[in-house]
Amino acid sequence: MSKQREVSNKMRVYHRYLGFFLAGIMAVYALSGVVLIFRDTDFLKKDIVNEKQLEPNLNAEQLSKEIKIKRLKFTAQEGNMATFAQGTYNLGTGKVNYTTKKLPYLLDKMTHLHKAKSADPLYFLNIFFGGALLFFVISSFWMFLPNTTIFKKGMYFALGGMLLTIILLLV
């Protein structure tokens, strides 16, 4: 067996078993990726009514930090009651009532895994997964011998995919 054929066969084996191993996580990333496209809408989100007792007389910036709502601004104030887009805050008593929107539990966990940062405990999974996807890209070029018709056609498809990617990045 030629050296080229040996490398091709090894790549196929690695590609196959890594693909089987990562099938579950690829499904999670696919679903959460589609859900994240709609993160600026209320698609699939449910309203969560929150009620908290905070310190009285907080300004909008302090309240924003306490209830973790970015860019919170008071839209109106009548007496001790301050109103903001998601609810109300009683300046005198410190009681805040507000509504947040959240994905169902499992979808929320999946999207958080998808968006993991280096401070998250499972960030290494994203690094491993990204590396595995890069391996899939590279190993796919060893799936067929270069002198075959299917490889040559595959190269045209690869070129088309690269051109489409470049166009999408520039648009």
pLDDT in tens, 101-142: 999 999 999 999 999 899 998 889 889 999 999 999 999 888
Distance CA 150, CA 56 (A): 71
Q: Please report, rounded to a whole number, the percentage of residues in the chain having pLDDT higher than 90.
A: 81
CA 10 to mean position of chain CA atoms: 32
Taking a C-beta distance cutoff of 8 angstroms, is the pair 54, 66 a contact?
yes
- Per-residue confidence (pLDDT) for residue 53, from 0 to 100: 97
The number of CA neighbours under 13 Å toward the Cβ of 77 is 12
Q: How do residues 156-169 score in pLDDT, each as one tens digit?
A: 999 999 999 999 99
Q: Please report, rounded to a whole number, the percentage of residues in the chain having pLDDT higher than 70.
A: 99
CA 22 to mean position of chain CA atoms: 17
Taking a C-beta distance cutoff of 8 angstroms, is the pair 53, 105 a contact?
no
CA 131 to mean position of chain CA atoms: 17
